[in-house]
Amino acid sequence: MSRIGKKPVVVPAGVTAKVEGQLVQVKGAKGQLEFLAPDEVSVVQQDNAITVDPRNGTKRARALWGTARAQINNIVVGVTTGFEKKLEITGVGYRAAVQGKTLQLALGYSHDVNYPIPAGIAIATPKPTEITISGMDRHQVGQVAAEIRALRAPEPYKGKGVKYANEFIFRKEGKKK
């Protein structure tokens, strides 16, 4: 039994939620998001809460039960407060700057890397070595952060590269003579 799936998703004041069959639409202060639930689960709105239940006892339905509930909760949180990821850049001469709709990164290559900022995402650089990615779609915020990190992933010997703010890089000892 899913412990997460059992909990109803509470819709806070100032947020309107509408359930039409498998489609859940949520509108809040930051914008509007929608989620199409899989056919194995049923989505019901009662008062100011949305509940998700499996349609049958199959393993797939039970697996998607908690997942669908978590996705609905993510869109409710996204339209109210939004999501944020922080990245840190480590390395001599490594820096980032936002110029219009692109993020310009100097990551030790022979050229600067220009990353186009997708719609619905806001990127800020409070310091040249810090990047803050924010938006209302949790999946998109995480995907953009992963793509930027992949441009120069941190290496284990000197720790140079782009890493998440809360990430620990396991350091290796270099060759000995």
CATH of 83-164, one of 3.90.226.10, 3.40.50.2300, 3.90.930.12, 3.20.20.100: 3.90.930.12
Q: Where in the chain is the domain with CATH 3.90.930.12?
A: 3-80, 83-164
Which residue type does 23 have?
A: L
User: Which contacts qualify for 49-56: CB closer than 8 Å, 24 or more apart?
Assistant: 49/8, 49/9, 49/10, 49/11, 50/8, 50/9, 50/11, 50/17, 50/19, 50/24, 51/8, 51/9, 52/5, 52/9, 53/5, 54/5
Taking the model in full, what pTM does it have?
Answer: 0.89
Give the whole-angstrom CA distance, residue 29 versus residue 118: 20
Q: What is the pLDDT of residue 8?
A: 92
pLDDT (tens digit per residue) in 28-86: 999 999 999 999 999 999 989 999 999 998 999 999 999 999 999 999 999 999 999 99
Q: Does domain 3-80 have CATH number 3.90.930.12?
A: yes
